[in-house]
């Protein structure tokens, strides 16, 4: 299943409903060589060229329910979404 988060279309999405954790990824997970965290507490992954290849969203369902938006602040931009389609219901 794929989903759009901000201006990025992620081709692989996995949702852990027990932990309320959403994993978004482009390409193989082995592409990630750099790891970081954003101010919101989510985790980001980058390839060798510095391209964002993955985001781990903590408390995805809770954030959408309580705040109506999930925000990920990166060094060069802010990504946000108010709708993850069927990603959270597919689990």
CA distance 32 to 27: 9
Average model confidence (pLDDT) across the chain: 93
Report if residue 88 sits inside a domain: no
pLDDT at 90 over 80: no
Q: How many domains does the chain have?
A: 1
User: What is the residue range of 36's domain?
Assistant: 3-81
**pLDDT for the residue 7:** 93
Residue count of the chain: 91
Report if residue 62 sits inside a domain: yes
**pLDDT for the residue 3:** 92
Report if residue 59 sits inside a domain: yes
Is the Cα dihedral 16, 91, 37, 83 positive or negative? Answer: negative
Report if residue 52 sits inside a domain: yes
More confident residue, 76 or 85: 76
Report if residue 86 sits inside a domain: no
């Amino acid at each position: 299943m794929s989903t759009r988060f901000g201006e990025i279309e992620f081709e692989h999405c996995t949702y852990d409903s027990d932990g309320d954790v959403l994993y978004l990824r482009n390409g193989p997970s082995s592409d990630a060589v750099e790891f970081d965290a954003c101010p919101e507490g989510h985790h980001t992954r980058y390839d060798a060229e510095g391209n964002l290849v993955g985001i781990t969203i903590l408390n995805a369902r809770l954030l959408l329910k309580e705040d109506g938006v999930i925000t990920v602040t990166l060094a060069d931009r802010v990504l946000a979404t108010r709708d993850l389609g069927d990603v959270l219901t597919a689990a």
